[in-house]
Every structure is written in structure tokens, then in C-alpha cells.
Chain A
Amino acid sequence: MSTMDPSEKKIIGITGAVLALFIFSILYARGRNNELPACLPYNKTYLEPKVIRLDQQTYQVYAVAQMWQFQPNQINIPAGSEVDFFLTSKDLVHGFNIAQKNVNMMAVYGNINKTTVKFEKPGIYKITCHEYCGVGHQSMQAEVIVTETPVR
């Protein structure tokens, strides 16, 4: 590339450096609760919606998306809990987005998706479907209710 103008080469250098910086920043921020969704083999036990309490601060939610609701629809969790969400769909592709946390997964028929979240602050966290799933798509929202005191 000896016939290329030196300023073009400088530009490629700057671009590469900035992209490398971004990559480093992404790797630096990786953590248990901060990963792309995990790849799980299919298992039909995940088709039964449920909330499992492993201990006072550890929960598992088997979330099932369908036209046009999430099950379970209301999830009660004490503040400070870590939750594993397992997600599948009974029909179309649905979205599963908890905007205030970095939870953003697709619910796909025949597939299991998984992510882990820690809910430090009490409040109501909406789970919104953000993938078109038919005529009732705009009504598809559930909640995670994070309370101060432990749920009995």
C-alpha cells in the first residue's frame, strides 16, 4: 500500500485504535450479571411457568411468553436478590425487555434463553414485549415487583 497517501494510513490507525478501545471497554465490563444471553439446550420443563425460591436472595423464574401475555405475570422478589430468568415461547417470537436492567432477550419456540440479573433497588420493573407478535402485541407487559422486606 505504498502508493496510499500517508493521511489515509493515519486515519486507519486512529480508527483501529478507537475500535480497540471499545473492545477493551466491553471486555472490562464483563461480569456475571453482564453477559449476552446464555445458550441452553432445549428442555420441556421450561414450558411450565414458575418462580423458584432457591434461598432468601436467589431466585429462578421460568418465564413463558405467549400471545399475548407473559407467565408469570407478576413476580415478587426481595431487594438484593439475584434472579435467573429462563425464557421460552409457546408460539411466536416474543421480546423480553426489562429496560431498567440490561435484560433483553428473545423468546423463541423450541428454544431456551437465559440471563441473570441482580435487583438491588426496590421498585416495579416492567417486562415489555418488543417483538411484533400479532394483534395483541401492544398489551404484552408483565412486572417484577422488588420489595424492601423479604416476601414470605
Chain B
Amino acid sequence: MQISKSLKRLIYWELGIPLTLLTIGIYHGLMQTVYRAGIIHQSSFAHLEYYQGLTLHGVINAIVLTSFFAVAFGHATIAYYLKREPHKWVAWLSFWLMTVGTVMAAWAMLSGKASVLYTFYPPLKAHPLFYLGAALLIVGSWVPLFSWANIYMAWKRENPETKTPLAVLGTLVNFTIWFVCTLAVAYEVLVLLLPWALGWRATVNVTLARTLFWFFGHALVYFWLLPAYTMYYTMLPKLAGGKLFSDLAGRISLFLFLLLSVPVGVHHQFSDPSIPRGIKMFQGLLTFGVAIPSFITAFTLAASLEYAGKKRGSRGLLGFFGKLPYLDSSRYLFAYLICGLILFIFGGLTGIVNASGVLNAVVHNTAWLPGHFHMTVAGPVFLSIIGMSLFLYSGISGKPIFLPRVNVIIPYLWVIGILIFSTGLSWGGLIGEPRRTNLGMTYLNPKNELFTPEWVPTTTLALAGGIIMTFAALLFFIVFFGTMFSKKTAAGKLELPVTEVLHDEKRIPLFDSFKPWLIIMAIIIVISYVPAFISASQNPGPGAPPFTPDNPVPQQISKSNPYNQ
């Protein structure tokens, strides 16, 4: 499909900015493993402090990269399938809001005024521009949904009997989830935190802030995952040389995500005070529910790959795995996607452990957690983002892939790195190694009284994995920027692989309309979260004054504060 110069430029910027920032994000990822293995015993290195680096790592990799990509990929899927480009001024407004927000937050983080980690839990206080920047980034990412919804509704009027293309459904479901969940964090940031950070309010209810954050925080991971799922359902089978086993399975999965992505956030607060056990257990149960669409997807994709493998003459029950185009450099997107799936096996399964009530006590806030989420957000999410960014850029610009044979092995190197890395972290977590901690200063410093030798092998494994991952990322940057600086060899166009469907069930109105699902989604969210918000508002005692990371004395001491000495 030919697209306008404006849309081309928009997509270039929306892919290019986060991928450039990713170099900083990856650097800090590597540095974490170096500090934590006790290679250095310092609070900072090269003028960047550990926790500052950790904040940059989380915000750039998990918020900036993912949001910009989701928007760009959303534009691409809507334009490609509905044959209409997003409204120009809406798309550019979104871009500028997101970019200005990112610059503000980046400034705050790089100048050391926002070393609060990407969860920014109060009463740890960041510079007001960090909060404002984050808010702009998020609001900016809402904006395109309105254009896409408008285009979609016009398309539906013209095509009342045609099934909504699965990729379009994926984009719209994803951004609906995003819009709903970000309302809570926008409220937290703009109403609770920003006035408090500016000194206009003396205290903040920490539990309420956390509850609002996690209303957003779990759905956030589906916002990350659903673009990858869209690629799995609509592109992977074609790339493998086969067909999608069931289109309906994809639709059911997407609508189940719509229902269950949000009302499960309290499973991140199992260890929190002031939230009754009943609410924790109920949301834990719903979390088991949200595992179901992923299991449906695992089977449907396996069946689709089996079709592809058998078509190429595979024999035996699992022989189809051996007949897939793993190292075909002309279909490198297959490699990026399949490697994400390999990691997601372990990432998803460990996630179920995390959601399982008292089992959470074994793993919460230990190194097991980053072990888990590097097999999810740094697995299928990251690989699909970088693979598709390369694919979109190359197609739209008409430039060939730079070093294609290197490109196709990058995902496999990444998988090896992550598996080693996450093994180290998971093992460490099970023997008490904490996350979010500069271990090198104390726990991994042989001269320190807190030295914990049990964590030496675990952090060493993580370091080894981290080095391999960094090398893979470096190769990716070479390929991507090399492609960017290559000469154009073809006409630029927007193309996406489109999979045929084996069981192309006829249109079922229930699975082709939003209204009933939105209503059920709202009902479940109300049942699930109203009690949680009431508890978070009523059970806690006094609110907290602001603190900066370096000072146990709060910034403002109000006279009614019982903690006053």
C-alpha cells in the first residue's frame, strides 16, 4: 500500500526516537548486571548513579519504547487493513505530546532528579517535570485511538457483513484497554502526585497511589503484549509457510483480554497492607482467568505451525518444529517472532506462579521477578518490537536490510542470553536475592559485613546472560542503523504479511462488536476495583510527606504529622 509522505515520516520518527533511546536503556541493563555481580562496588559509574540508571532502564525500555511502537504499529495496521490513513493532525498531535513528554521525563531522569524507578512509588518524590512528562507521554498515546475508532466505524458502515480484520481488532482492543487503565495512573500522577511534588499538597495516601498505579500496571503488560499477539495471529503462520488454525480463537482471546486485563492489578499488591484478603484472592482468581487466552493462543499457534511444518513434509508428532524457516534471512520476522514465543513459554508459566496467592510470598520483590519479566517484556514484546520496527522501516523506506545474515541470528542470540540471565535471577530470587538493589555495594562485596556468598553464582549467571543480550542488542543497532543509512533500492510501501485462515469461521456478530464486551468489562472492573479503592482510601492512616532518595528527613514537615520528632 502506498502511503503519504506525512505518514512515512511519522512512522520513521515514532520508531527512530525510541530505538535511539534504547541504546541508553540497553547500556543500563548491562550495567545492572555488572553492579549486581559485584564487579564494581560503587554507587555510580561514569557519572550515572545505579538507581538513576535503573530508572532510565525501566522508563525507556518499558514505557517509552513500548508506547511509541504500539502507536506506530497501530497506525500501520489501521492504514493497511482499512485502507485509510489516520487523520494527519491527530497523528502528529499524538507524536508531539509523546515526544515532549519523553524529553521532559528524560531531562528529569538524566539530571538525577527522578531516581524513582519506573513505578515512582510515593512518598519517594521526583521532579515535577518527571510526572508531567509521563502524563504527556500517556495522553499523547491516547489520541490516535479516536482517529482509528472514527475510521473503523466508517469502515463498518461500508462493510456491515465483513469480519473486522483480526489485526484491526487487536489494535482497537489494545488501545481500549490502554485508555481505560491509564485513566487511573493519569489520576494518580496529575491529582495525587503532581500537586504534592509541587508543594501544593502536604501529604499523599501511599496505598491509594499504589492501587491506582497497579490498576494501570498490570493492564500495561497486555498493552505491551497485544501488538505481539496481533503479529502472532495475523503474520506468523504466513511467515512459517502455513495458515492460521482458527481465526475465531484469536477473536475470543482478544475479547477475553479486553475483559480481564484490568481487574487483576491487585495481584501486584499481595504483600501490601490495608487491602483485604478477599479482594486479593478475588483478583488472583481473575488473574487465572486472564491466563486462559494465552493458553488458547499457545495451542492455536502451535496448530498453525504444525500445519506449516506438515505442509513442508514433516513426520511424527512434533516433527513440525524441525521444518520451520528459523534461519531464512529473507523471512527474518519469523525468527524474531518464534524466539519471542520460546521465551514466553517460561515467562508465562512463571507469571502464573506469581499470581498464585501465598506462592507470591516466595518470590515477591526478589530477583525472581525480573527473571520472570525479562522472559515476557524482554521476550516476545521486545523481539516483536525490534523485529517489526526493522520490517516496517525497511518496507516503508524501500531500503534493504543491512547484513541480513547477521540480522536473522540476533533473536537466537537474544534467547540464549535471556535464558542464562533469567536462570540466574530466578535461582537467586528463590534464595532471597532482592531485586532493585545495588548488590555490589554490600551483599556482593566480600569486604562488607552483609556479604552473601550464595548470591555469587546467581549474579554471575545474570552477568553472563546480560553480556550476551547486550551483544545481540549491539548487533541489532548495527543492522537497524545500517539499514537506515543504506541506499534505497525499491519503492517504499507499507506491507504487512497477511495470513490465510484454515478454519475461517463465518462472521459471528458477538465476536465482531465491541458493545457487549465493553459493558461486561466495565461491570467486572467495578466489582473488582471499587472495594479495593474504598479500602485503599479508608483503611490507611495519615498521608505521607515527600522524600528524596538521599534524605530520611522529609521535604516538608507538616505540623499535624505524628511522625514529627
> Do A99 and B366 form a contact, CB below 8 Å, given A11-B295, A134-B549?
yes
With CB as the reference atom, state the residue of chain A lying closest to B357. Answer: A26
Is B436 at the interface (CB under 8 A from chain A)? yes
Find out whether the CB atom of B248 lies under 8 angstroms from the CB atom of A4. yes
Are A134 and B450 in contact (CB-based, < 8 A)? no
Chain B residues with Cβ below 8 Å from A47 are 562-563
Q: How far is the CB of B387 from chain A (nearest CB, A)?
A: 27
B273 interface contact, C-beta 8 A? yes
- Taking CB atoms, residues of chain A closer than 8 Å to B360 are 36, 104
A86-120 interface (Cβ within 8 A of B): 87-88, 90-93, 95, 97, 99-100, 102-106, 108-114
Q: Is B361 close to A, CB under 8 A?
A: yes
Is residue B442 contacting chain A, with contact meaning CB distance below 8 A? yes
B354 CB to nearest A CB, Å: 12
Contact segment of B396-404, B416-424, B537-545: B537-545
Q: B273 and A37: CB pair below 8 A?
A: yes
Chain A residues contacting B435 (CB-CB under 8 Å) are 130
Q: Which residues of B contact A113 (CB under 8 A)?
A: 271-273
Query: What does the 1/0 interface line of B499-510 toward A look like (CB < 8 Å)?
Result: 000010110100
Contact B438 A8 (CB under 8 A): no
Q: Is B326 an interface residue (CB 8 A)?
A: no
B273 and A40 contacting across the interface, CB-CB below 8 Å: yes
Q: What 0/1 readout, one digit per residue, does chain A (117-152) give for beta carbons within 8 Å of chain B?
A: 000000000101111111101110100000000000
B51 within 8 A of A: yes
Verify if B325 is at the interface (C-beta below 8 Å from A). Answer: no
Residue in contact with A132 in the complex, picked from B436, B503, B550, CB distance below 8 Å: B436
A95 to B197, CA, bound (A): 23
Which positions in B face A, CB cutoff 8 Å? 43, 51, 54, 117, 121, 123-124, 205-207, 210, 245-246, 248-249, 252, 269-277, 280-281, 285, 288, 291-292, 295-296, 299-300, 303, 352, 356-362, 364-366, 431-432, 434-439, 441-443, 450, 503, 505-506, 508, 535, 539-544, 547-552, 554, 562-563
Query: Is A92 in contact with B124, judged by CB distance below 8 angstroms?
Result: yes
> Whole-angstrom distance between the alpha carbons of A113 and B210 in the complex?
15
Q: A134 touching B356 by the CB < 8 A rule? A: no
Give complex CA distance A104, B352 in Å.
Answer: 18
- State which size class the interface on A falls in: 35 or more
Known: A15-B292, A92-B547, A132-B437. A111 touches B273 (CB 8 A): yes
Q: Which B residues are in CB contact (< 8 Å) with A137? A: 51, 436-438
Q: Please state if A130 and B541 are interface contacts (CB–CB under 8 Å).
A: no
Residues from chain A with Cβ under 8 Å of B299 in the complex: 7-8, 11
Q: Please name all residues of chain B whose beta carbon is closer than 8 Å to the beta carbon of A38 when the two chains form the complex.
A: 277
Contact with B along A25-36 (1 / 0, CB 8 A): 010011000111
A37 in contact with B271 given A19-B288, A19-B291, A129-B434 (CB within 8 Å): yes
Instruction: Choose from A12, A19, A39 the contact partner of B276 (Cβ within 8 Å).
Output: A39
In the complex, are the beta carbons of A111 and B292 less than 8 A apart? Answer: no
Q: Nearest 8 pairs between A and B by C-beta?
A: A99-B432, A42-B541, A130-B434, A113-B273, A111-B273, A130-B365, A134-B549, A109-B544
CB contacts (< 8 Å) of B296 on chain A: these are 8, 11-12, 15
Chain B residues, CB < 8 A from A66: 552
Are A111 and B432 in contact, CB atoms less than 8 angstroms apart?
no
Q: Knowing A36-B280, A109-B206, A130-B435 touch, does A91 contact B274 (C-beta < 8 A)?
A: no
